[in-house]
Amino acid sequence: MASFTLHGIPVSRGIAIGRAHLLAPAAMDVKHYLIGEVQVEAEVQRLQNAICKVREELQTIRKTLPKESPAELGAFVDVHLLILSDPMLADMPLDIIRNRQYNAEWALVTQIDELSAQFDEIEDPYLRERKADVQQVGERVLKVLTGTALRLPEVDSEGTSFANIVVVAYDISPADMLQFRDRAFAGFVTDLGGQNSHTAIVARSLDIPAAVGMNNASRLIKQDDWIIIDGDAGVVIVDPASVILEQYREHQVQLLRSRRKLGKIKKIPAITLDGTVITLLANIELPSDCATAMESGASGVGLFRSEFLFMGRIGTQHELPTEDEQFESYRQAVTAMKGRPVTIRTLDVGADKPLNVEEQTALNPALGLRAIRYCLAEPQLFLTQLKAILRASAFGPVKLLIPMLAHAFEIDQTLAMIDRAKQELRSEKIKFDEHIKIGAMIEIPAAALALPMFIKRMDFLSIGTNDLIQYTLAIDRVDHEVAHLYNPLHPAVLYLLSTVIALGRKAGIPVSVCGEMAGDVKFTRLLLGMGLLEFSMHPAQLLAVKQEILNSDLDGLIAQTKKILRNTEPSAIAAAVNQMRANPTPSHKSCL
């Protein structure tokens, strides 16, 4: 067989080499037929039995999860259990069977397709990819209905390296991945998925090389093919030539050595060669992520996305989490961080990602009623969350972060709502931090260009580079047709970034970056040269960024960065940034 290469989305760094193991293809293509009226209740019972069996399987996986497993794995199984119990998936297909007399498989697929179409309207990439969770739960039920079992490869008792496998699938759920925990597997390749898919998140948490969004990989790759995954490039090489195989094996050894060295700097403070202290924080989605953040050596949580509490509910608005339920999740995160600060971002949902899946979306969802705009339009929902966050602040240092602010009146209304939440808690004699820090996400160009009104009113700023780049360049970053226009090094983006950092430092107000740029080592020295002292990223990226910091001399980087910012040619800027990392300015001081 001739060697060939596939290109996808890099989601977890490293090199994986192994034999391909193909999982059964998606079970969504099922038989469609009508049943007689006398068969309806029997068909309803058949679907209910399948749902019960899947629930038992997931509960068993959850209970038998080893204590040392990454926290994300258990949390994802919990999400699948919630989806399985949601009326939109557990009850609606039963109504379809009764009303339309579809067979169980057809009824289930019909409802999954309906839910999937609603998720497709969501603009936010992280939340839009939660469609995969619904499909994975549905597929698990379908496999029970159709008798399709998940077959796993057998390995020798010692689990030696020659038994390593690369899992190739159309898609794979976190629950299925857990069933590989006792197998020797090297990496994952999936047709579906993106940077924020659960496959990607789990791969990063397990530190396993993976490439997703490969389209036809599961059809083109054959069982037992030799495969190389280049996790840094998102490239999969199938049936590589011996010389290529040896090159990648050598590269793999070098990466392992580098990772061992990274482990040695876990407890070393992030200080540049010239003695500047840099704060490294973690981005989390779930309270259980705090364990990974602590293990990575994070100084705190720079971004706790609170959406997971709300978006796990795919039903109607009356099912939104209560104040007590929210408080308990926030409290868990705060106590888990053991005195380190936790920055909680208020709800970032809206027209593009409705809490009620039956709501219609806006024509331009990224520009619609979302984030703080949505919260101010739903004051009771906002007040409930604010009170829950404030209550959690009694258990450790908490900061409040407000997304998508652009206007002074929005800031003033938000601060008024926070004051009202405080007053209600005082009346209820509930403790909270009276002096809680309140910050703004800078993710709209208007906010970056009108920064003085933010500095006047807020305690800190956090730059969301993902949206700032999207809005500055007027592109949808999840639209494949314009994805090539998404450029963090565009002169306009760099101008806004440097301006916010410089004005914040001049005013003595803390500024952090919590978008993808913060965790990308290609940009670490550039951001340092702009004067950034606080980075927040996925925990898996933290040690690599720390290594860049430990080997950086700010004096030299500041001079190089000023020169880059004066340049207006994108190609020259990119070359200069690459040069900055390849040949950092030498220092008379030695690296730790």
Instruction: Please give the domain boundaries of the chain with CATH numbers for all domains.
Output: 4-24+150-245 (3.50.30.10), 37-146 (1.10.274.10), 262-582 (3.20.20.60)
**CA–CA gap between residue 302 and residue 82 (Å, rounded):** 27
pLDDT at 358 over 60: no
pTM, two decimals, is 0.69
Number of helical H runs and strand E runs in the chain: 25, 16
pLDDT score, position 21:
85
Listed residue (118, 104, 54) closest to 84, CA to CA: 54
pLDDT at 588 over 60: no
Burial class (CB in 10 A: 0-12, 13-18, 19+), 485: middle
- The alpha carbon dihedral of 172, 178, 183, 187 has a sign of positive
Answer yes or no: 514 catalytic. Answer: yes
pLDDT score, position 589:
44
- Cα dist. 483→130, 470, 475, 479 in Å? 20, 10, 8, 6
pLDDT score, position 499:
97
Please state, as a whole number, how many other Cβ atoms lie within 10 Å of the Cβ of residue 194.
18
- In the chain, what are the helix, strand and coil shares in percent, each to the nearest 5? 50, 15, 35
The residue written with tokens 């009771």 in the block is: 380
Q: What's 356-383 look like in SS3?
A: CCCCCCCCCHHHCCECHHHHHHCHHHHH
**CA–CA gap between residue 521 and residue 267 (Å, rounded):** 19
Answer yes or no: 198 catalytic. Answer: yes
The residue written with tokens 């339009």 in the block is: 377
Burial class (CB in 10 A: 0-12, 13-18, 19+), 464: buried
pLDDT at 475 over 50: yes
Structure tokens belonging to residue 425: 């808690």
User: Which candidate in 21, 290, 375, 514 is catalytic?
Assistant: 514
pLDDT score, position 276:
96
The mean pLDDT value for 522-527 works out to 96
Q: What is the pLDDT of residues 271-324, one digit of tens each?
A: 999 999 999 999 988 888 898 899 899 999 999 998 877 764 544 444 788 999
Q: Whole-number mean pLDDT of the chain?
A: 85
Q: What is the pLDDT of residues 196-221, one digit of tens each?
A: 566 676 676 667 888 888 888 888 99
pLDDT score, position 343:
98
Listed residue (258, 259, 236) closest to 248, CA to CA: 236
- pLDDT band for 351, please (50, 70, 90 cuts): very low
pLDDT score, position 157:
44
Q: What is the pLDDT of residues 61-109, one digit of tens each?
A: 888 776 656 566 677 788 888 888 888 888 999 999 999 999 998 899 8
pLDDT score, position 533:
97
User: Which candidate in 198, 290, 375, 538 is catalytic?
Assistant: 198
pLDDT score, position 309:
79
Q: What is the pLDDT of residues 109-160, one digit of tens each?
A: 888 888 887 777 776 666 666 777 888 888 889 888 887 655 555 544 444 4
CA 102 to chain CA centroid, Å, is 37
pLDDT at 178 over 70: no
Rounded to 5 degrees, φ, ψ at 404 are: 60, 35
**Residues 153, 154, 158, CA angle at the centre, nearest 5°?**
135
Rounded to 5 degrees, φ, ψ at 267 are: -95, 0
The mean pLDDT value for 216-238 works out to 89
Q: What is the pLDDT of residues 31-69, one digit of tens each?
A: 788 888 899 999 999 999 999 999 998 888 888 776 656
Q: Determine the 3-state secondary structure of 34 from DSSP.
A: strand
The mean pLDDT value for 366-380 works out to 89
pLDDT at 498 over 50: yes
Q: What is the pLDDT of residues 243-280, one digit of tens each?
A: 999 999 999 898 888 878 888 898 899 999 999 999 99
Instruction: State percent of the chain over pLDDT 90.
Output: 49
Q: What is the pLDDT of residues 413-437, one digit of tens each?
A: 999 999 999 999 999 999 999 999 9
pLDDT score, position 66:
65
